[in-house]
Amino acid sequence: MIAVYKTYLKNLGDRNRTYAVCRCSFCSSIFERSYSDVSKTKSCGCQKNKIMDTRVTDNNLYSTHRSMINRCHSKKSNNYVNYGARGISVCDRWAGPDGLENFTRDMGPKSEASLTLDRINNDGNYEPGNCRWAARSIQSVNKRSSGKIKSKGVWFRSGKFVSSIKLNGNPIYIGRFKTEREASNAYLAKRKEIYGF
Ligand SMILES: [Zn+2]
């Protein structure tokens, strides 16, 4: 495995490219890779001739950053309904052209690969000051609960039941509720309002 410590823009003459400074977990050496190659990199090279059976679970923040942008700003994302549709967005500093670099600089590396990006104020945006690395156990609680939900249009998210409905293919956020029943009733009322049944 490797850990990404930081990323930076490297000037290659005609263009800039994102590079990552990594630490090899086999021999502890520090090395650099083009950021786009990080997910394929398993070691600094010291393991080249050995059979690798380790999954690459590193501090690669690329995918964390990417999915954060997608669930807030892409209606195609399955999670959009819980984020973008609720008005949650990624700040310009993190969503802009140097967003990945700024995000990596502001958040710092994960101390453990299993940590997930968490917002301190659940109704706040993804921005410096409102984000931290949190243990996945918080999320698995959410997942456990969502497995039991039977009502259509209802999700369990961050301790609350969230309802949403699709209109012309776009998810419409209805609200967050304490109980599944309340969320389901809100969904049914909204469905009647929109579709008449
Ligand atoms: Zn190595």
Q: For 1-59, what is each residue's pLDDT tens digit?
A: 788 888 888 888 888 888 999 888 888 888 999 988 888 888 888 877 665 433 333 45
Q: Looking at domain 137-197, does it have CATH number 3.30.730.10?
A: yes
DSSP-based three-state secondary structure for 142: helix
CATH 3.30.730.10 in the chain is located at 137-197
Centre of ligand 1 from the C-alpha of residue 2, in Å: 9
Element (H, E) at 106: helix 99-107
Centre of ligand 1 from the C-alpha of residue 38, in Å: 14
DSSP 179: S
| Mean pLDDT computed over every residue of the chain | 82
Centre of ligand 1 from the C-alpha of residue 56, in Å: 14
Q: What is the pLDDT of residues 48-101, one digit of tens each?
A: 766 543 333 345 688 889 899 999 999 989 889 989 998 999 999 999 888 888
Centre of ligand 1 from the C-alpha of residue 31, in Å: 9
Give residue 26's pLDDT: 80
Give residue 49's pLDDT: 64
Contact present, 68 and 84 (Cβ < 8 Å):
no
